[in-house]
Structure 1
Amino acid sequence: MKSLYLLIVLLQMTCFGNCFNILVVFPMPAPSHFILGNALARGLTEAGHDVTMVSPYEDKNPPNNGKYSNIVLEGNTQAQSSAHRKINLFKFGKVNPFLNMKSMNYIGKSATNSTFASDNFKKLLESGKKFDLVIVELFVDAGLGVLACHYQTPLVVFSTLSSNYWVNSLVGNPSPSSYIPDLFLTYSSSMNMWQRFVNLLMYLAKDLNHRFSFLPTQIELARKHFPKCVDDNGLITNVSLVLLNAHESINDPVPYVPNMVNIGGYHVNPPKSLPKDLQEFCDSAKDGVVYFSMGSNLKPSDMSQDSKQALLSALGKLKQKVLWKWDEDHLPGKPENVRIAKWFPQQDILAHPNVKLFITHGGLLSTIETIYYGVPVLALPVYGDQRINSAKAVAGGYALSLSISELTEKDVSEALYELLNNPKYRENAKKRSAIMHDRKVKPMDLATYWIEYIIRHKGAPHLRVAALNLTWYQYYMVDILLLLLCIGASFLLTAYFIFRNLFCSRRTDSKLKKN
């Protein structure tokens, strides 16, 4: 008993030195965002930390060790989520990417404002609870970074995407428009001249929008609720670390400053046994299974009738069985080889050896999961980053992509035949999977290490690059270019006047001699 008591005391002392109070804020009313935030919060809890998770959703099965607490954003956030579900996103996907900026500004304003206005969140602020670190999901909600100032802690930013404009500017990360396409475009890293021109225009438009529309709105929201943490220069906060939901197996290689870390795939869990009926369905599929899901936000019933019919006709001709995640109880015209349900355990299905193909909208989580298990893809992108994810998958050789608004039975059938019968797509998917699994440490362990590192080193200011201390004209060497232009212009003017005087002097001498 005495030995057991000493062991308990030792463990408590160890925890006292290494366990931290961490606030995790994921305000976006989208299930996919909650999946990422909750996976990060639970992973930190399992590492021994006390975690407070703030989001519009509740973890129905929280860790039972007493170190995880859930603050559910109510009211406006839930209304926003409900309104989001009523939108036909298949129509929203047709919006010009340049016009998307206005929509993203509105989404960010709503997320930031509804978080600050939430009664449950206000109770947390008024509780006096202290934190050692604040982690904020940065998805057009930069104003939430003010929480690090309020709690006097370092700030870790989580990007649900790869490196992008919203996070690059916070840590001075370079992002050349010559080979890094914007997230809302459909280009690969090998852009032609016209694509590079369009990409440059997108970069410039986003920069102007960020400086003169998005950021001022976010700063005003932060000033309204935390006036002491906003001065004339904006939010009083420094980003110590950026965690990216990205990895070399999925994304193109791009430059990262020292305080940016890839942890893509951390949310993927070891596969579990399928429910008995699904297990029998997949096991008995001698020709294989095609899994079809459009993610957690899109409602496949909102597709146009032509697109539905094209898919139904093409899928009905397959010898493979099909699992289709469908949002209604019935699917008119459903072929016999197709089984529908409102929910499927996606990761566990993709892990089954009989699954031959994944038909997906190209969402990042689905892309990560299909690469993790090495399953080729037929992508039907609709909006947002789905298009560029699909373009990268096609460039990676493990996918084909079709326009959801222009589907025909012929196109779908040809794509399905190619993907199911040409082994190169599965081979390339397996190669990508091998890259994803070839890591020194698990991605969640990597995230935990860096979060603890930031706390231990008081925000790790030694990782900040000097670019953050420069103005935009200094960063882009505009002042140097102007100086060189001035010197060059002065040299040319001086040369002009010298030659002019010489020429005039000779003409004068010539006239005098003639006279």
Structure 2
Amino acid sequence: MKNNFREHVSTLLLIIGIQTTLSAKILAFLPIPWRSHHFVYRSLIGGLAARGHQIDFYTPLPIENGPPNLNQIQVKDRLDDASGERSLTCFTLFSDATNFDRLQVYTELINSDKKYDLVITEYPLASEFSAYLSHKFKAINVAVMGYLDHPWTNEIAGLPDNPSYMISYQAKTNDRMSFGERLFNTYTLVSMIALCYWETMTRQQEFADTFLKYEGWEGRPKLTEAISDVDLILVNTHLSMGYAYPKAPHVKEIGGIHITTTPEPMSKELKRFMDEATHGVIYFSLGSVVDASEMLKDGKAQIMINVFKRLKHRVVWKTQPGLPEVNEKNILTSHWLPQQAILAHKNTKLFITHGGLQSMVETIAYGVPTVGMPVFFDQFKDVKLMTTVGMGLQLNYNNITEDSVYWTINEVLTNPSYRLKAAKQKALFHDRPMKPVDEAVYWIEYVLRHDKVLQPASARMPFYQLYLLDVLAFILLSSLLILYILKKIIRAVRLIFSEPSDGCPVKKKVE
């Protein structure tokens, strides 16, 4: 009996010891102020905290009632939105020196004497701002990305783009492209990489050398090298949310990590409104980033209201200040709504969406047909995916009419094929060996144990090596040299055979 007790105690102490050994000191520097991004962050941070890791979480949107091993540092300075097409192109929110200087909490952090085993940052939106954190703290570098369909993000991943079938975030097509679409895709690839390498990163390097100084900064690598030196990339994508592409070993998909089995509860009014919807509910939301009042100006909001009035379905509409008041019995409006709870409700028949990434993830996860109204950025690509798989239709919000909106909504509601295709995507989404949060935590702990084993050499190569430009240049120059030598040899041979063997001039015969 005593021996058994000792064995149990020894086993318990061993487990505690292993847990203590595996418990890491983690810095999560995620200052992006967009709520849709923080859905992903919070799920990841929560999963790591549940495993006993000690986390310093720098965020503008703290988690309420966080666990004791989660230390949250609120980033009070709200970062300016990316200004200018150039900044959006290269996914940088820090396009001028003032933004580097304003975030005082960053300066305090990078000059501190804290110790971390692992650093989590968002790429590529804040990559130039946070790339040097892992160098400063000599820590493992983990990046969280929203997508992997931009030339610059593929550069970071060490995965060369193939524009013949890997579509850019700017594309409005699927992976079966025509010649013209492939031509545009190729142009996007070349122009984005060139712009990010030779213009944006040059400016960011100057800003970093001016404002991001700390002890030992003189020996750090170039900014592009620091950005590429990532041990693990967690991407908020999944096969059900995109197309089948090859990926580097250190790229792991965690799409839908924020999807929960217990969505935030509805208000009593909303729940009653949806429960009593005999013919079902249409959910209309343009997300948190798009300015709905601007998008639905020039009478577009009234068009939507007129269409909703004609329907027998009830409508739940996420509105914003600046939109006209709605007093229809079948329309419920609110500035905030629990989107997952609405999409999970049995009476939800249709989601009218702008096609943002998180909205796309959620509508697929809950198998709800869609009508997409994309506005900018990757929304066109996301909505195109939904139409390609057959779970919805697209509207051009610039040219909507009451008849076109009514026909599109009615088509998706009455044609059962859209709901069947949505159910198929839902099944694909949930068919995984483990939950996304468990997979994310597993791979983070994996690189804690094994460091850089997943990182391919391509992630550390300069672009001219990655794309074999030096090899192509060598082959081209060698070919030109060989052709030049052959030309000289042929000319010499011709001269030799065109002269008499005795060296005397040949006399012409006179008749």
Instruction: Calculate the TM-score normalised by the size of structure 2.
Output: 0.88
The answer to whether 1:314 aligns with 2:307 is yes
Distance 1:214 1:471, change over 3 A: closer
The answer to whether 1:364 aligns with 2:357 is yes
Residue matched to 1:437: 430
Pair member with larger Rg: 2
Residue matched to 1:335: 328
Tell me the CA shift for residue 474 of structure 1.
Answer: 6.3
- Tell me the alpha carbon deviations over residues 219-277 of structure 1, each in whole angstroms, 9 at most, x when there is no partner: 22332323633658513642111111100001111111111111101111113453332
Residue matched to 1:482: 476
The 3-state SS of whatever aligns with 2:299 is: helix
Tell me the CA shift for residue 482 of structure 1.
Answer: 1.3
CA distance in 2, matches of 1:122, 1:11: 39
The answer to whether 1:264 aligns with 2:255 is yes
Residue matched to 1:254: 245
- Tell me the alpha carbon deviations over residues 350-402 of structure 1, each in whole angstroms, 9 at most, x when there is no partner: 01111010000100000000000000111111111111111111111112111
The answer to whether 1:54 aligns with 2:47 is no
Tell me the CA shift for residue 332 of structure 1.
Answer: 3.3
Tell me the CA shift for residue 173 of structure 1.
Answer: 0.7
CA distance in 1, matches of 2:141, 2:333: 43
Residue matched to 2:77: 75
Tell me the CA shift for residue 504 of structure 1.
Answer: 4.5
What are structure 1's unaligned runs of at least 5 residues?
Answer: 88-98
Residue matched to 2:131: 145
The size of the alignment, in residue pairs, is 494
Residue matched to 1:190: 176
Residue matched to 2:48: 44
CA distance in 2, matches of 1:495, 1:406: 68
1:27 pairs, out of 16, 25, 31, with 31
CA distance in 2, matches of 1:70, 1:111: 27
- Tell me the alpha carbon deviations over residues 297-337 of structure 1, each in whole angstroms, 9 at most, x when there is no partner: 12322222332122111121111100000113973355331
CA distance in 2, matches of 1:364, 1:487: 52
CA distance in 2, matches of 1:145, 1:400: 40
Residues 326 and 333 in structure 2, CA contact (< 8 A), matched pair in contact too: no
Residue matched to 1:93: none
Q: How does 1:271-310 map to 2 (within 5 A)?
A: 271-272=262-263, 273-302=265-294, 303-310=296-303
CA distance in 1, matches of 2:319, 2:34: 18
- Tell me the alpha carbon deviations over residues 106-160 of structure 1, each in whole angstroms, 9 at most, x when there is no partner: 9522599646643333444455321110111013432211000000011111112
Distance 1:116 1:48, change over 3 A: farther
Distance 1:22 1:335, change over 3 A: same
The 3-state SS of whatever aligns with 1:481 is: helix
The 3-state SS of whatever aligns with 1:366 is: helix
What are structure 2's unaligned runs of at least 5 residues?
Answer: none
The 3-state SS of whatever aligns with 1:51 is: strand
The 3-state SS of whatever aligns with 2:424 is: helix
Which range is displaced more, 170-179 or 232-241?
A: 232-241
Provide the identity percentage.
28
The answer to whether 1:119 aligns with 2:104 is yes
The 3-state SS of whatever aligns with 1:70 is: strand
Paired letter, 1:234: K
The 3-state SS of whatever aligns with 2:324 is: coil
The 3-state SS of whatever aligns with 1:362 is: coil
Residues 324 and 339 in structure 1, CA contact (< 8 A), matched pair in contact too: yes
The answer to whether 1:165 aligns with 2:151 is yes
Residue matched to 1:472: 464
Instruction: Calculate the TM-score normalised by the size of structure 1.
Output: 0.87
CA distance in 2, matches of 1:111, 1:425: 46
Distance 1:382 1:509, change over 3 A: farther
The 3-state SS of whatever aligns with 1:490 is: helix
Distance 1:419 1:492, change over 3 A: farther
1:212 pairs, out of 198, 216, 222, with 198
Residues 177 and 199 in structure 1, CA contact (< 8 A), matched pair in contact too: yes
1:199 pairs, out of 185, 189, 207, with 185
Residues 293 and 323 in structure 2, CA contact (< 8 A), matched pair in contact too: no
Which range is displaced more, 132-141 or 376-385?
A: 132-141
1:375 pairs, out of 359, 368, 372, with 368
Q: How does 1:450-465 map to 2 (within 5 A)?
A: 450-457=443-450, 459-461=451-453, 463-465=455-457
Residues 159 and 242 in structure 1, CA contact (< 8 A), matched pair in contact too: yes
The 3-state SS of whatever aligns with 1:305 is: coil
CA distance in 1, matches of 2:248, 2:92: 28
Distance 1:230 1:269, change over 3 A: farther
Distance 1:340 1:501, change over 3 A: same
Tell me the CA shift for residue 410 of structure 1.
Answer: 1.3
Tell me the CA shift for residue 182 of structure 1.
Answer: 1.5
